[in-house]
Structure 1
Amino acid sequence: MSDLLAILYPWNKAIHIMAVITWMAGIFYLPRLFVYHAEQAVVGDAKDEVFRIMEYKLLRYIMNPSMIVVWVFGLALVFTPGIVDWSMVWPWAKTVSILGMTWFHMWLAGRRKDFAKGQNQLDGRRYRMMNELPTILMIVIVLSVVIKF
């Protein structure tokens, strides 16, 4: 199995990077949709319906599959011999940040359900503030992988 992972390493890495890009695009865009939804739509009006559809499709058809691919191919990279040295700090920092990104994804999914039920409790300002979290996590992840501290 480890021989196969070593042979597939460049492919696993390429697919992982493409999935990360797609997932991050959604992670940055969905809270921005929530900002506009909270500030510009009234429950039941035409804008509300358009935002609900956009949010649902972004999460269901782009973000969820991307997150799954990130995890599957990321774990394949972790199990590839010689790639991760767990005695260093960087894989632990990356792991904690990925768990944080996954939590944020799930938090966004919960907020989308609130909008779908017409029960959103947060304002645009709160969504703007929450949108800073994935930026911080992304910085930690990229620095961890590139610099390998």
Structure 2
Amino acid sequence: MLYLWIKALHIVAVVCWFAGLFYLPRLFVYHAASEDAPSRERFCVMERKLYRGIMLPSMIATLVLGIWLILLNSGLMSQGWLHAKLTLVVLLIGYHHACGAMLKRFARGENGRSHVFYRWFNEIPVLILIAVAILVVVKPF
């Protein structure tokens, strides 16, 4: 029963983390297109609160709960789909930290990218989510 509770909380944490991963780059799109100082300042506050208040705690919860699940069911480590999923999780952590670096550049007023870049950048977590969902549900290998 404990395993199922941890799994449910892991799913909730993943959903919260992805909500932030989808929304922060969208804020970057609007921030990059903004032309007045009050808008840019407002976006900096929104981005910082989203990153620190939702994304970071959700990522930590996702990782802690995921590791706990693996420890409770060590047989999972012998399955290829989990290795592929963990590889994607590592890429997602990198994406998360890239978002953090972009947030800091925006806060310093050093953004050098257009809103179009951020529109494309925003698609990366969608592709990872699709791949992870397929791996977890279908378990192709």
How far apart, in 1, do the equivalents of 2:13 and 2:35 lie? Answer: 31
Report % sequence identity. Answer: 41
Task: Give the equivalent residue in structure 2 for 1:79.
Answer: 71
**Unmatched tracts of structure 2, length 5 or more:** none
1:93–1:140: 8 Å Cα contact kept in structure 2? Answer: no
2:77–2:83: 8 Å Cα contact kept in structure 1? Answer: no
Q: Return the letter of the residue paired with 2:38.
A: A
How do 1:82-121 and structure 2 match up within 5 A? 84-86=76-78, 88-121=79-112
Query: Which SS does the other structure have where 1:96 is aligned?
Result: helix
Counterpart selection for 1:66 from 58, 66, 73: 58
Task: Give the equivalent residue in structure 2 for 1:4.
Answer: none
Query: What is the TM-score with the length of structure 1 in the denominator?
Result: 0.90
Query: Which SS does the other structure have where 1:54 is aligned?
Result: helix
Q: Return the letter of the residue paired with 2:113.
A: L
Tell me the alpha carbon deviations over residues 33-54 of structure 1, each in whole angstroms, 9 at most, x when there is no partner. Answer: 0000001234xx1001100000
Tell me the alpha carbon deviations over residues 17-73 of structure 1, each in whole angstroms, 9 at most, x when there is no partner. Answer: 00000000000000000000001234xx10011000000000000000000000000
Instruction: Compare CA radii of gyration and give the structure with the larger one.
Output: 1
Query: What is the TM-score with the length of structure 2 in the denominator?
Result: 0.95
Task: Give the equivalent residue in structure 1 for 2:15.
Answer: 21
* 1:79 CA drift (Å): 1.2
How far apart, in 1, do the equivalents of 2:57 and 2:111 lie? Answer: 25
Q: Which runs of 4+ in 1 moved over 2 A?
A: none
1:77–1:83: 8 Å Cα contact kept in structure 2? Answer: no
How far apart, in 2, do the equivalents of 1:60 and 1:41 lie? Answer: 25
2:70–2:77: 8 Å Cα contact kept in structure 1? Answer: no
2:25–2:122: 8 Å Cα contact kept in structure 1? Answer: yes
How far apart, in 2, do the equivalents of 1:118 and 1:53 lie? Answer: 13
1:31–1:127: 8 Å Cα contact kept in structure 2? Answer: yes
Which has the larger displacement, 72-81 or 60-69?
72-81
